[in-house]
């Protein structure tokens, strides 16, 4: 029987990615929980927000809960949008507004280095069991390009590539992304935990 994981996020793109990268798990979204609460992401770091989300949902179910907090850190913006990545443009989860705002902030700025970071927290019975993180370095393009992925994927070219994550497509993105790296650590930890 496959182990079940409840992913504590309302972002179904994240659930899809996690599901496609964890074929040996039954990955459920929040519809597995009755009336899941809105969790305010009041933390100042990915780890704090990911922990908030994992614990809030874990208090409502005996199952394993996985939270994912992730975002983009742009060096010449002193790490912005960071924990505000999903609401940078003023409207939670509006990718187009977020990308537009980012390009505006970087207008005329030559230094475009950035990284995507992901912090996963695994919880059960209201307690954090472990956390896992991953990051991918890259550069912000001058204009969005490509139709794959979500979030800032059309503007983010991973190091060594001219193309954005959105252009490179799911297979390449999921072989090197921040989320892929942290999920790899999760699965290695889980294989010990489930023994």
Q: Where on the chain is the footprint of a copy of itself (CB under 8 A)?
A: 44-48, 75-76, 78-79, 110-111, 113, 115, 117, 119, 130-137, 185, 189
Closest to 139 (Cα-Cα) out of 102, 182, 88, 179:
102
Which of 109, 147 has the CB closer to a copy of itself? 109
Which of 97, 176 has the CB closer to a copy of itself? 176
CB of 9 to a copy of itself, least distance (A): 19
Closest to 98 (Cα-Cα) out of 117, 81, 74:
81
Which of 20, 113 has the CB closer to a copy of itself? 113
Q: Which residue has the tokens 């790296």?
A: 181
Annotated catalytic residue, options 29, 69, 95, 153: 69
Which of 23, 108 has the CB closer to a copy of itself? 108
CB of 79 to a copy of itself, least distance (A): 7
CB of 48 to a copy of itself, least distance (A): 7
CA 25 centroid distance within chain: 18
Q: Does the annotation count 69 as an active-site position?
A: yes
List the 113-124 sheet strands across, edge first.
25-28, 3-7, 65-74, 113-124, 127-140, 156-158
CB of 10 to a copy of itself, least distance (A): 24
Asked if residues 85 and 98 have their Cβ atoms less than 8 Å apart, the reply is yes
CA distance from start to end of the chain = 13
Active-site residue numbers? 69
């Amino acid at each position: 029987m496959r182990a079940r994981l409840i992913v504590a996020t309302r972002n179904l793109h994240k659930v899809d990615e996690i599901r496609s990268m964890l074929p040996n798990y039954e990955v459920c979204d929040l519809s597995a929980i009755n009336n899941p609460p809105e969790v305010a992401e009041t933390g100042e770091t990915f780890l704090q927000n990911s922990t908030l989300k994992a614990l809030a949902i874990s208090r409502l179910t005996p199952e394993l809960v996985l939270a994912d907090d992730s975002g983009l850190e742009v060096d010449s913006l002193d790490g912005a949008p960071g924990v505000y990545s999903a609401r940078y443009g003023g409207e939670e989860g509006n990718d187009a507004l977020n990308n537009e705002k980012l390009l505006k902030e970087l207008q005329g700025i030559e230094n475009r280095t950035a990284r995507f970071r992901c912090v996963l927290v695994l919880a059960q019975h209201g307690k954090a069991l472990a956390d896992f993180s991953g990051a991918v370095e890259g550069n912000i393009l001058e204009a969005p390009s490509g139709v794959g992925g979500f979030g800032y994927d059309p503007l983010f070219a991973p190091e060594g590539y001219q193309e954005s994550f959105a252009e490179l497509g799911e297979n390449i993105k999921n072989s090197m992304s921040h989320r892929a790296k942290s999920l790899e650590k999760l699965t290695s930890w889980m294989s010990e935990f489930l023994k």
